[in-house]
C-alpha cells in the first residue's frame, strides 16, 4: 500500500540532464520516485474498466483499449481487470496464462481524470518540468499501460516520460536495432521525438506514460479550436452543408467562398486582431499553466456556503497563478480553472496568505467581506483549498 510518507517523498531527479535530453532529442534513463504507485494505478484501472465489461465505450474519457498483439479487441469482457484479481501482478499473470505466446495489454487514456488525488500528484511532479522547460502550449496526455505491449517503431512527433510502476519497459532504436535503455520501478525513461523508437513492456508491466508535446503545428490548431469554441454556432440556410462551386463565380473568375464561410473567415480575422483574442488566450494559457498542461483537468465541485467558523487549508501544489485582466480585475487560475477577481488589496492579501500554506478560519481570511468569501468558495470548488480535516480532495479519497 502507498503510505503518506512515500507520497510526500520528493522525486530525486536530475532535471537539468532531463531538460538537456529534451532539447537535444536524445533518450535518457533517470532515477526517480514515481508520483504514482502500481497498487493505486491498478485499483483505478478496475474502477475505470467496470462500465466497459459489457463492451468498450467509445468517445469517452477515460478511454479503454485492449490489445492482443497489434489487434484491438472491442469486447474483452472478463479479460478486463476486476476484483477477482487481488493485485496488478495477479491480473497480469491471468493475462499471461490466457495467452502465453501473445502480447496482451490494456491501455487507458486519461486515467487520472478518474482520480483527482492522483492527478494532483502527477501535476505536482510536472511543476519542475515547467520550471526547466516551460509549460507546453498543448496538453500533456497520460496513458496507463498494463501487460505485455509492443508499440511499433514510428517517428514520434512528441516526446514521452515513461514511469514503469512495476515490471520493465525497454526502448529500442529502429534504425540501429540497438536497445538503448531498460527501465524498471524507481526509474524514468525519456523517449525523445524525431527518431523511430520501439517501446516494449514486459509481461509484468504497469506503466504511466506522459506524452510531452513537441510538434509546433499543434499550437496553431489550439488557437483555431479556441476561436471555434467561442464563436456562436451558425446554421447554414436550409440546413445544407456549405459547398464550394466547381468553377470560379467572381466577376474576374476567382473562386468565391459561400456566404457562411466568408462570414466566419472575416470573424476569425477580426477576432485575432482584437482585444478579445488576447483575453481569451490569456484565460486559456493561464488555466493550462496552473495544470502544468496535464489535461483533461478535474471538474469543478459545487461552491460551498462558508461560515465564519469554518476552516480551510491550502492544497500542496495547487498554486494560484494570476495575470491582470483589465482595469480593476485580475485572473486567477488553479488546477486548470480560472476565476475573475477584483483587483483589491484584500484579494491580494488573501492570495498571499494562501500561498504560504497552512490552515485558516474563514473569518481570519475574509473577515466580513462577502466578496472575498465568494472568492474563497470558488477556490474550494476548484480544490485550491479544502476543508481542514480528513476530507477528500477529489472524487477518490486521498491526499494530493
Backbone phi, psi, residue 160, to 5°: -150, 145
Which helix (H) or strand (E) is 256 found in, with range? Answer: none
pTM of this prediction? Answer: 0.83
Q: Single out the residue of 400, 399, 314, 386 nearest to residue 355, CA to CA.
A: 314
Q: Which residue has the cell 484479481?
A: 85
Written as tens digits, the pLDDT of the chain (400 aa) is: 333 333 434 447 999 999 999 999 999 999 999 999 999 999 999 999 999 887 777 778 999 999 998 899 988 999 999 998 999 999 999 999 999 989 999 999 999 999 999 999 999 999 999 999 999 988 999 999 999 998 876 777 899 999 999 999 999 998 888 999 999 999 999 999 888 899 999 999 999 999 998 766 555 666 666 666 666 655 555 556 666 666 556 666 667 766 666 777 666 666 565 555 566 667 788 999 999 999 999 999 999 999 999 999 999 999 999 998 878 899 999 999 999 999 999 999 999 999 999 999 999 999 999 999 999 999 999 999 999 976 445 444 333 3
pLDDT given for residue 399 in this prediction: 38
Please tell me the predicted confidence (pLDDT) of residue 55.
Answer: 76
Q: Cα(36)–Cα(185) distance, rounded to whole angstroms?
A: 11
Under 8 Å between Cβ of 328 and 281: no
Backbone angles phi, psi at 10, to 5 degrees: -70, 150
- CATH level 2 (architecture), domain 276-400: Alpha-Beta Complex (3.90)
- CA geometry: angle at 70 spanning 160 and 95, to 5°? 90
The CATH class of 4-212 is mainly beta
| Residues paired with residue 340 on neighbouring β-strands, in sequence order | 331
CA distances from 18 to 28, 123, 179, 201, 215 (A): 7, 17, 19, 22, 18
* Amino acid 151: pLDDT: 85
The pLDDT value given to residue 321: 95
pLDDT at residue 400 in the model: 39
Q: What is the pLDDT of residue 373?
A: 96
Beta strands (DSSP E) in the chain are 28-31, 63-68, 71-73, 104-109, 141-147, 149-155, 159-166, 168-173, 179-184, 187-191, 196-201, 206-212, 311-314, 321-324, 329-334, 337-342, 359-361, 385-387
Quote the pLDDT of residue 57. 79
Give the cell for residue 348: 491580494
Task: Render 162-187 in DSSP notation, one character per residue.
Answer: EEEEESEEEEEETTT--EEEEEETTE
Domain ranges for the chain, please list them: 4-212, 276-400
pLDDT value at residue 3:
39
Helix axes 38-49, 116-133, angle to 10 degrees: 120
Q: Identify the pLDDT of residue 223.
A: 64
DSSP secondary structure code for residue 70 in this structure:
T
Rounded CA separation 373/379 (Å): 10
Amino acid at each position: 500500500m502507498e503510505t503518506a510518507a512515500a507520497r510526500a517523498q520528493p522525486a530525486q531527479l536530475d532535471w537539468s540532464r532531463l531538460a538537456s535530453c529534451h532539447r537535444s532529442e536524445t533518450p535518457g534513463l533517470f532515477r526517480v520516485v514515481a508520483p504514482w504507485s502500481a497498487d493505486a494505478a491498478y485499483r483505478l484501472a478496475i474502477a475505470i474498466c467496470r462500465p466497459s465489461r459489457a463492451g468498450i465505450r467509445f468517445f469517452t474519457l477515460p478511454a479503454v483499449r485492449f490489445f492482443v498483439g497489434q489487434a484491438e479487441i472491442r469486447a474483452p469482457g472478463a479479460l478486463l481487470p476486476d476484483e477477482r484479481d487481488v493485485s496488478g501482478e495477479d491480473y497480469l499473470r491471468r493475462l499471461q496464462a490466457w495467452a502465453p505466446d501473445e502480447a496482451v495489454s490494456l491501455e487507458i487514456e486519461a486515467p487520472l481524470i478518474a482520480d483527482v488525488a492522483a492527478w494532483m500528484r502527477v501535476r505536482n511532479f510536472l511543476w519542475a518540468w515547467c520550471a526547466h522547460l516551460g509549460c507546453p502550449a498543448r496538453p500533456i496526455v497520460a496513458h496507463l499501460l498494463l501487460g505485455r505491449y509492443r508499440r511499433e517503431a514510428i517517428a514520434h512527433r512528441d516526446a514521452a516520460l515513461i514511469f514503469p510502476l512495476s515490471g520493465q519497459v525497454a526502448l529500442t532504436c529502429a534504425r540501429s536495432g540497438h536497445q538503448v535503455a531498460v527501465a524498471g520501478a524507481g526509474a524514468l525513461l525519456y523517449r525523445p521525438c524525431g527518431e523511430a523508437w520501439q517501446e516494449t513492456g514486459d509481461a509484468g508491466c504497469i506503466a504511466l506514460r506522459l506524452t510531452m508535446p513537441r510538434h509546433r503545428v499543434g499550437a496553431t490548431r489550439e488557437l483555431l479550436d479556441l476561436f471555434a469554441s467561442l464563436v456562436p454556432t451558425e446554421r447554414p440556410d436550409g440546413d445544407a452543408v456549405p459547398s464550394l462551386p466547381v468553377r470560379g463565380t467572381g466577376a474576374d473568375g476567382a473562386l468565391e467562398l459561400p456566404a457562411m464561410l466568408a462570414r466566419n473567415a472575416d470573424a476569425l480575422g477580426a477576432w485575432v486582431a482584437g482585444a478579445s483574442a488576447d483575453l481569451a488566450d490569456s484565460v486559456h494559457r493561464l488555466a493550462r499553466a496552473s495544470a502544468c498542461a496535464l489535461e483533461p483537468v478535474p471538474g469543478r465541485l459545487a461552491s460551498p456556503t462558508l461560515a465564519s467558523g469554518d476552516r480551510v487549508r491550502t492544497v500542496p501544489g495547487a498554486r494560484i497563478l494570476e495575470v491582470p485582466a483589465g482595469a480593476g480585475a485580475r485572473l486567477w487560475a488553479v488546477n486548470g480553472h480560472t476565476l475573475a477577481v477584483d483587483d483589491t488589496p484584500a484579494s491580494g492579501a488573501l492570495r498571499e496568505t494562501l500561498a504560504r500554506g497552512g490552515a485558516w478560519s474563514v473569518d481570519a481570511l475574509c473577515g466580513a467581506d462577502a466578496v472575498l468569501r465568494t472568492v474563497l468558495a470558488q477556490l474550494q470548488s476548484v480544490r485550491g483549498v479544502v476543508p481542514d480535516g480528513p476530507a477528500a480532495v477529489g472524487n477518490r479519497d486521498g491526499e494530493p
